[in-house]
Amino acid sequence: MKPCVFTGNCVALATPMYEDGSINLEGLTALIEFVLSGGVDAILVCGTTGEASTLTPKEREAVIRRAVCVAGGRVPVLVGTGSNDTAHAIEQSQVAQELGADALLLVTPYYNKTSQEGLVRHFTAIADAVHLPVILYNVPSRTGVNIQPATYRRLADHPRIVATKEANGDLSALTVTRNLCGEDLWIYSGNDDQIVPFFSLGGIGVISVLANIRPALVTSICSLCLSGEISAAGRLQVQVQPLVSALFSDVNPIPVKYALNRMGFAAGPCRLPLVSPAPVVQERLDALLFQGGEDKT
């Protein structure tokens, strides 16, 4: 059985920025404390939601340092270090390791799309170059590459590849992967609308965008699942579905940064090429965020 990095709710943190686009580390501190107060079980920085593809190496280091410092060992800090350049991914992974990361999240190579054999060699080379646990990230809607269940079985043989964040939306493939890998590869949901289905099929947690703005709610869903109360968790999953849908009505993290700003956090703008959400998206989010005057909950 592989060790797991966390069970339950890991927030995929947005990266707060000032209006000029520079990193707002004080805003990052406030956001981390907020999600910790909501009971998150882990924190991910420099992921898709954190706009990692637009961060410079120095900015990445600053974000990682601050997250590790603020978390202070209270929860594991995961760092997204994937790239479509294996050598660059190794370099980023080693830097994150030196800065105190507890685990790495590696997205599949994008644009220069590789084969299943290429995926095995890519991830193996990175895992061989570090001593931290590695979580794979399969999100074919963004990368154009899908990790097949048989490929997961091969990757699960590596002692440091311990889990995957699965966001391909294919529950049938998930069952095949579970059968092939068992406890050699833990599975996290990469989709906020599939938290409960993943748990019911053997998943152990979620890496969540929703947890930026509703950390306690996502923690409750995960806690209910972990205690076997699937029906109660399912009711919460259904209840929050309109908000989840709104958060993905434009390219992530556009809606979630808008929501954070409206809730009073200094999330700031997204970096180009991402722009502010359309008025119809703003209105939809406002209606869902502030039902009954709710704020920062």
Residues labelled as active-site residues:
137, 165
Under 8 Å between Cβ of 89 and 106: yes
- Measured over the CA atoms of residue 195, residue 204, residue 130 and residue 121, the dihedral's sign is negative
Strand stretches in the chain, DSSP E: 8-12, 42-45, 77-80, 103-107, 134-138, 161-166, 186-189, 205-208
DSSP secondary-structure letter at 231? H
| Residue 14 and residue 31 in contact, taking contact as beta carbons nearer than 8 Å | yes
Look up residue 159 and give its two tokens. Answer: 């002692």
Rounded Cα distance between 5 and 23, Å, is: 27
The one-letter amino acid code at 172 reads S
187: helix, strand or coil: strand
